[in-house]
Structure 1
């Protein structure tokens, strides 16, 4: 599948089958994330793989929605501001940007493996940090529920017209 086709196939999965995700596929997702680009190659990220029932329950307490409970696997993406590159002119920290790039690498790799994923950013940050403590420098950026989709979307999500989102000079 070419890249454009892959991006068209990917959607936010909110219904998962009970089928477990194979270890080799989990490793593939993590390797794709590890190879994501980051500003000045700082790689200010850490990936927490959540598989056990006890650990999954902790995630579910931080984002209490019924649909997320179906996913057999979560990957939590953390970032460390102190490890990230900062733009000299305005000190803009790129930790969250770098973590977002790695997150999307996981999402697209999941689609290539016929797995579903969904970005979750609306979670209880303090509760998640307490449940999966990596140290004060680390903050969670996203939770990715991952698994085999239980269904397919009815229609692609609408996209703005190219003319609405681009300028040429």
Structure 2
């Protein structure tokens, strides 16, 4: 499968089987995170793997995880990230997002479904998962086997034409 085919196959799964994700698949997903590029290779991502039922219940206090058996809280350590010297832009959240994308696509290649959750209560995550002050939860990557009746929403294929999003040489 080509990269473009893999990217087109992926969709936001919002209904999962209760079947756990195998350890070898989780390790491959985490290896994909490890090789993701980050600014100046500082690797400020901090990943919290959540798969125990009591911990998943704590996570559900902060976000809808759609009954998935596995979630990875993707965090950014702002003290460990590169800052662009011209304006002091901290790249921790950008790096965490790149890492999430790598994990999401690896999971898809392994036959797993995912959904990138950005709608969550960060204060609950910080408290329930003991995050230090400089570490921010950026997103939650929910992972598992898609339920048989899980299908992409219409938004999955509703894309703007390139003429609306791509500019050549100047805006």
Matching of residue 22 in structure 1 with residue 19 in structure 2: no
Q: With structure 2 as the length reference, what TM-score do the two structures score?
A: 0.93
State the superposition RMSD in angstroms: 1.2
Matching of residue 100 in structure 1 with residue 92 in structure 2: no
Question: Offset of 1:168 from its aligned partner?
Answer: 1.5
Give per-residue Cα distances to partners, 1:16-61, cap 9 Å, x unaligned.
Answer: 1111100000010001001100000000011110011100000000
Show the counterpart of 2:47.
Answer: 47
Deviation larger for 134-143 or 110-119: 134-143
How many equivalent pairs are there? 166
Matching of residue 86 in structure 1 with residue 83 in structure 2: yes
Structure 2 CA distance for aligned equivalents of residues 136 and 62 of structure 1: 18
Show the counterpart of 1:131.
Answer: 128
Matches within 5 A, 1:4-15: 4-15=4-15
Show the counterpart of 2:152.
Answer: 153
Structure 1 CA distance for aligned equivalents of residues 66 and 85 of structure 2: 43
Deviation larger for 152-161 or 13-22: 152-161
Show the counterpart of 1:58.
Answer: 58
Question: Offset of 1:126 from its aligned partner?
Answer: 0.9
Question: Offset of 1:81 from its aligned partner?
Answer: 0.8
Query: Residue 144 of structure 1: SS of its match in structure 2?
Result: strand
Question: Offset of 1:154 from its aligned partner?
Answer: 5.9
Following TM superposition, the consecutive aligned residue runs of length 4 or more in structure 1 with deviations greater than 6 angstroms are none
Matches within 5 A, 1:68-79: 68-79=65-76
Alignment gaps of 5+ in structure 1? none
Question: Offset of 1:153 from its aligned partner?
Answer: 2.2
